Amino acid sequence: MAEFTQGRNPFNDYDLGVFIGHGIACSGGHVVTPGGTIYNLPPQHYYPLMLDRATKTAHWVGSSWIPQYGAAGGKLKWMFLMTCNPLLDNGPNGIYNQNKANGTLPFGSGLRVLCGYNSKIYLERNMGGYLSDALIHRINGEQYRDGTVVNAWGYVWNRSSNRNRGFIARAVYWPECENDRIYGAKDGANDAAHVPPLQPHASQTELEETDFLP
């Protein structure tokens, strides 16, 4: 909590990050405080972190208020957002396309894959287990079990109720990272073959997406 309230992004201290919790997308606008101060807000994703359960107060973290996932100098390569709407591109609060065009996605220069939802999501007890299993253990011939980071996200969506509820999982990545697999995947292959070097990219418009659709 303290890391976020101080404007840091603690996920950047690790190779892989998973956030699980509430989230909303907002296409922008402004907020007027009781004192009359006006704050203009960009299109971004927010998640509330509980400060005091007794009083129900929360600290809202906007994606533009903290360092990007995979910001320069950090370790983060693969980020998973198990929260509603972080990559939403439709409706009045769609933010993804505008942020991508403006270069304001929370996608830093060191990040390789960002996974989230292009819709709301239902959180279920086994989703973390599905993700870790699909990332570590490849099963030939089983759908979404090729061991890649992108398809591991599809596996979580497929095994949970989110597919049948009509929700849309999305993975965003640089083209050379589409087939990334995390370090130490259990198939005996060389890690270097799973994680090719990042190439120079002029803008976030070069990012690609895979949507897992009902």
User: In sequence order, what DSSP letters do the residues of 159-193 get, joined into one string?
Assistant: HSTTTTTT--EEEEE-GGGTT---TT-TTS--HHH
Write down the pLDDT at residue 68. Answer: 96
Choice between 91 and 38, residue whose per-residue pLDDT is larger: 91
Report pLDDT digits (tens) over 122-134: 999 999 999 999 9
Percent of the chain at pLDDT > 90 equals 70
For residue 174, how far is the Cα from the chain centroid? 14
Kindly report the number of other CB atoms within 10 A of residue 148's CB atom.
Answer: 26
First to last CA, the chain: 35
CA distance 116 to 84: 8
What average pLDDT score do residues 112-123 get? 97
Write down the pLDDT at residue 186. Answer: 60
Task: Kindly tell me if the per-residue pLDDT of 58 is higher than 80.
Answer: no
Give the predicted TM-score (pTM) of the model. Answer: 0.91
Alpha helices in the chain (DSSP H): 2-5, 96-102, 127-136, 149-159, 191-194
